Every structure is written in C-alpha cells, then in structure tokens.
Copies of this chain bind each other. A is one copy, B any other.
Amino acid sequence: MTHDVYIIGSGHTRFGRLQQTLEELVVEAARDAISEAGIAPSEIDAVFLGHFNSGLVPDGFASSLIHQADPAFRFKPAVRCENACASGSAAIYSGLDAIRSGRARNVLVVGAEKMTHRSTGDVTTALAGAGYQNDPVERGLSFPQVFAIVAQAYAERYGDPLDAMARISAKNHANAMNNPLAQMHKPVPYEFCREVSDQNPLIAPPLRLSDCSLISDGAAAIVLSSADAAASAKRRVRIAAAEHVSDFLPMSRRDFLAFEGPARAIAQAYAAAGISAGDLDFAEVHDCFTPAELLIYEAMGLAPKGQGARALEEGTVFADGRTPVNLSGGLKAKGHPVGATGVSMHALAFRQLTGQAGAMQRKGAEWGLTFNMGGTAVANYASVLNADRA
C-alpha cells in the first residue's frame, strides 16, 4: 500500500453575494464533488468541514451540515477544522491524515462561508479576531490595517511596493474574467488600481480598495481517496505534498516581513514533491491583500527577497507567463468566502490538472501549487498537486 492520496472529484459553487444559506452552499458543493468522483455517498468514510465563522452565522454546529447532503452520511464521522483564513486547507489536511492513518478510504472535504448577510463592519470585526489583540503591533487593528503595516514595512526595507500591488490587482481581475465562478467579472486596469480615486479610495493607507480581497459567500468541496480507492477513478490528481507550518501569532514575536512560515511551508512542499519552483505550471495563492501575493512570490522562490516585483516585470506570474499565479482571479477577484478558500484552491487546481479549467486552462499543466494562509503568515498550508497522467 502506498501512502499517496488523490483528489478524485471537485465541487464549487459560484462565489459572491448569494441568496443560499450556509447549509445550501455546503450541500451543493458536497453533492457536486461526490457526483464528479463517481462514487456512492455511502463510500465516503469521513467528512471534514473547513469553516471560519467567528460569529458570522449563528448556527454553531457546522460540521453536521454536511450530513444534510445525503442520508447515506448517517453515522459517518464529521468534524469542523478551523484555522482562520486557512480553515479550508486545515480540513483537507485532516482528511489526508484520516486516509493515511488507514481510518478512511474516501473522505469528503467541504469548505464554506456565509459572509455577505452581515455588515462590512461586522465582517471586519470578525476577521480582526484572527489577529492577536494583546500584541503591541496589531492591537485594535483591522486586517486591512495589518497589511497596510506590512506594505509600509516593505517600502522601508526594500522600496515602494505600490506599483507591484497595482499590477497584482489588475492581473487577478483580468484572470477572473475567465472564471465563471468568480465574484467579479469586470476589467480593473492597472491605471485604476495605481491611483487613489473616488472609485478606488484608501482603505488603510497605503492600501486602496483595489488591494483588498472581497467579502463573499460560497463553498467548495473535494473527494480525497487512498491510492487503492482512487485506482478506478475516472480522473485523479495526486497530492504530491501537503505541508503545514504554524508561526507565532503575535506579530511582535517575529519579523513579519520575512514571511518565514510561508517560505518554510512552500520549501518543504517542493522538497516532499521532489520539484522546484521552475517545475510549477501554475499556483493558486493567498492574495487576501496585494502585499501578501507580492511576498508569496518571494516565498515561492519566483524572485529574490525584496524583489517580488520582478516576477511581474519579467512576466512570470501572468496568465501567459512561466508560472501563472491565481488564474482563478484569486481572493481578490474570485472572492474569499473564508472557510471555502483553501478548498477552492485545491478544487480549481484539480480542474487545471485534469484539463477541465475551461477558459482558465493552462495547457498541459502537470504541477500546481496551492498556498493558503491564516492570519499574517501564521497558519501556512502549501500543497503540490500532480496531474498523474500515468
């Protein structure tokens, strides 16, 4: 028996301001993933939910919502995993453990969040909970303010990142035009992102509105299977690496600009998969704010430290570049229903690696990276996925 685990099916609701309840989103994504996997619901041995919540939805027993998807789920173990904005990946990695421990052959993972029914202020407050409120650096700050500090620190140490940030935003909006599931389908050019305007106000200087990801509803799902169970699957993608690194929560306890957690998680993932950055055909990464994507280029090794902008200037990360980043539109334009985000990354990477990504498709993609992050580089999850066209 090999320790390999495969994705054999995916589900993905539209992201955006949706009328559906959390339960309806969970059920839709779950059913779609099982249907694509081509297995019976009774063949699922355990279910895992990625869900941030933090008071966004009153219902506090989210794990059991998955059981509403099918009567065959009765008595199957279900649990919720939470790690702030990386809750979706947290659920996937728990699912991997369940398979690798021998406890399960097939696992259903769903990530979901319902956010748009709350006011922007409520959502901002809920998300700020993922900071460390006793810390001298971040006390009382919202997440846009935290990443404004990151951008300021970057400017002081390495030079002004504003131009790169605008290019990242414009790139991700352009990519989202090809993703029918994305929340935003509107060209937002570099020139618009670069300037502060009535339509693009400062949210937390120097961050403009165009530097911030969206408040979204949505769900995504995947079916994970052991090598044995996946042998007869119509489509399968191998999880070549899944590395989780948690850093200290308080920003004052670490050099937050070093992004050490992301760099370690990604380096470990490359090593486990036996590849290097140059082998990647695409990456879906955590652009909660544009400075995060810039720092992730450096953590990925696409550019030297402090020179992330080169990955843009040299064209590397654009849709037609060597390593396109966020072909889906990213959190910036696809949307960021917190608990769904990590599962969405894996679901869309599965579609890329099985040639089902439609207008987003990177032709012949064999290797993909997902990088999902909770907090300011606190909970870091890096997966390498492989097309496995054996």
Residue A126 interfacial (CB < 8 Å): yes
* A216 touches B (CB below 8 Å): no
A247 and B63 in contact, given A94-B94, A97-B103, A98-B97 (Cβ under 8 angstroms): no
Known: A81-B81, A94-B79, A100-B101. A60 touches B52 (CB 8 A): yes
Chain B, Cβ-Cβ closest to A63: B83
Checking B47, B63, B80, B101 against A97 with a beta-carbon cut-off of 8 angstroms, the contacting residue is B101
- B78 pairs with A79, CB closer than 8 A: no
A374 close to B (CB within 8 Å): yes
Chain B residues with CB under 8 Å of A245's CB are 75, 77
Quote the shortest CB–CB distance from A355 to chain B (angstroms).
Answer: 30
State whether B247 touches A61 (Cβ < 8 A).
no
With known contacts A61-B84, A63-B379, A77–B133 Cβ distance under 8 A: no
Which chain B positions have C-beta within 8 A of A375?
Answer: 61, 64
Interface string of A75-118 (1 = CB under 8 A from B): 11111111110000010011011111111000000000000000
Number of copies: 2
- Check: A141 CB closer than 8 A to any chain B CB: no
Question: Which residue of B is nearest A62, CB measured?
Answer: B82
Complex Cα spacing A130 to B61, Å: 5
Q: CA–CA, A390 to B74, complex, Å?
A: 39
Cβ-based interface call for A67 (8 A) = yes
Show 17 A/B contacts (Cβ-Cβ < 8 Å), sorted by A.
Answer: A3-B102, A53-B54, A58-B129, A61-B131, A64-B132, A64-B246, A64-B378, A68-B248, A74-B247, A75-B245, A75-B260, A76-B246, A78-B379, A80-B90, A81-B81, A81-B82, A100-B101
**Chain A contact residues, CB within 8 Å of chain B:** 3, 23, 47, 52-55, 58-65, 67-68, 73-84, 90, 93-94, 96-103, 126-127, 129-134, 244-249, 260-261, 264, 374-375, 378-379
